[in-house]
Amino acid sequence: MAWTHRHLLGLEQLSAEDISYVLELAKGFREISLRPVRKVPTLQGKTAILAFFEPSTRTRVSFEMAAKRLSADTYAISSSGSSVVKGETLIDTIRNLEAMHIDLVVMRHKSSGAHHLLMKHTDTPIINAGDGYHEHPTQGLLDMLTIQEAKGDFKGLKVAIVGDITHSRVAHSNIIGLTKMGAEVHLCGPFSMVPQFIEDMGIREQVHVHPRVEAAIEGADVVMALRIQKERMPKHLFPSDREYAMYFGLNSKNIRLAREDAIIMHPGPINRGVEMSPDLADCGRS
C-alpha cells in the first residue's frame, strides 16, 4: 500500500492498514541507528521546523535526531524564543516560516486541537508531537512497535493502561491504535482521572474500565504505567501521592497478576514518580 495522508495529526485518522504500514516502515529505518555512520539521504534538501510550544526533551530530541539521520535540515523554535511572546498568533508564526519554503512542521502545543486548526491555514505537512491531552500519535506508534516486536501480533492481546487516563495524550493514542489493531484495552485509575465515555475512544467492546488495578492487570500481556500529569490537571483530583500509590501504583505483588511473559512499559526510571512502588524493581519482570 502507499501512504495517502498529508498530515499525521492522530491515530484516529489512520486505518489498521495505515498503522501496519508505518510500523513495517519503522523497522527498516531503525536499522539506520545501528550503523557506524547513521545517515541516509532520504530527506536530503528538505527543511523541517520543530515547533515546540510546550517543554519537551525526549520527543524534541527524537524528532531532531531522526530528521538529521535522514539528512533533513532542522530548525527548532519554542514559545519563549519566538514572536509568540510578542503576541503573534500560531497561524501567523507558521505561515511566516512557510514563506521561507519549509517542507515539514513537527509541532507540540499545549492546546488540544491546535494542529487541526493549523492544518486549515497551511499547505505544509504537519506531524503532531503532542497536543494538550488529546493525542500523541508518534509515541503511540512507538509503543505499538515495541508491543509488536515482543508479541508478534496485536489480536487477542490484553493491554492494561494504569494511571492518569484523562490527561494522558499517549494513553488516548494507544487506546485508539491498539483497538484498531485488535487488542483489548483495560483501563484503571482514580475515578476523577478516568473520563466518562472513555470506551468510545476505541472500539467499544474492546475497551474496559476497572475500579481496581488488580482487575485491569490480571492476565495482561502488556502493562503500561502512566505518570501523573500534574502540569495539566487542576489540584485535588486525588487525596495524596501516597494514597494514589497505595491504590493505583504497580508493585511487586500486583504486577505478578499479569502473564508470566508480560512486558511492562513505564515512562522512565522507577524513582521518578509515585505511579510505581519502589519494590517493583525487585519483581524480576521484563
Which one, of 57, 111, 56, 113, lies nearest residue 232 by Cα? Answer: 111
Active-site residue (options: 60, 115, 134, 136): 136
Residue of 4, 57, 86, 236 marked active site:
86
Is 259 marked active-site? no
Those residues with Cβ within 8 angstroms of residue 146's Cβ, 6 or more apart along the chain or in another chain: 263, 265
Cell numbers 501496519: residue: 20
Q: Render pLDDT for 270-285 as a digit per residue (tens, 0 to 9).
A: 433 334 444 443 333 3
Active site residue 86: yes
| CB distance 43 to 66 below 8 Å | no
Exposed (0-12), middle (13-18) or buried (19+): which is 101, by Cβ within 10 Å?
A: exposed
pLDDT-derived band at 200 (thresholds 50, 70, 90) equals confident
136 annotated active-site: yes
**Which entry of 60, 108, 158, 227 is annotated as an active-site residue?**
108
Residue 275's pLDDT is 41
Residue 167 annotated as catalytic: no
Give the mean model confidence (pLDDT) for residues 227-245: 70
